[in-house]
Structure 1
Amino acid sequence: MAFLDKYNAIAGSFVAVLTMVFGKHWILFALFLLLNVVDWITGWMKSRIMGKENSVKGWRGVLKKLGYWLMILVAFAASAVFVEIGVTLNIDLGITTLLGYFVLASLLVNELRSIVENFVEAGYPVPKILMNGLEVADKLINDTEE
């Protein structure tokens, strides 16, 4: 029982810290990080299978992932700035919080599509419904046409 108490204390503390840093929807950020790692692994697998391993491309991929996190940071920071400006001007700009979540959603779909593409290029049979579903999600999130 002592083990479970320690486990619960550690797990609870971990979730509390994640909630403090990322808010109540911290799981979205954790999933994005997980997808970053999975995309990197599947990209490496694809390169290995195709005999095209390249450390420079691997580092570019890591830097690209870092850029995604910076993009998320900028989107959420911008929305926080707009909300604060709205408070100063007595205007409700809370809707701008969606800016960060739309960026995160777009990047989540992008990571999922990249993982599926890695599988396809490595020769794995990927269900067509998965590829089509991700394409539809991407269009719904990133559609700019009226």
Structure 2
Amino acid sequence: MGAQTIYYTADQFPLIGKTSEETETRYERLPAYLKDICRPPVWNLGKNTSGLAVRFRSNSTSISAKWEASGNNQMNHMTETGIKGLDLYTWIGDHWQPVKAALPSGKKNEQTIISNMIPSEREYLLYLPLYDGIVSLEIGIDS
């Protein structure tokens, strides 16, 4: 019988790619003090999580994610994966290697990104959606 997945809120892991911690929510890029001086379209783009990633280590045989997109955006010229999916990378030797994308199914999502791995300590980056924001994010590993 396989191990059960236990989810941990991503708030406890480092978030990289932010220029300031003074944002309205954790998963935004622009500092809150810019809200009144930015044009609304610029401010709204700052709520997208493009360029933000959660960094963590695990020896789990599988990595899963639960996440809720803030806007459930859709575009005619881009796939749902690019808009509100997640991208998992792992550190191999001297570079970040793509592992797999977590495919969204709507506003609320849950997916096993990769499974059946050899239990070995690895470092990961989980990149957040390009053209949507995140309300919540949990990372699942073996119990």
Structure of higher CA gyration radius: 1
Q: Is the shorter-chain TM-score for this pair beyond 0.5, marking a shared fold?
A: no
Q: Which has the higher contact order (CA 8 A, sep 6+)?
A: 2
Greater percentage in strand: 2
Normalising by structure 1, report the TM-score.
Answer: 0.28
Greater percentage in helix: 1
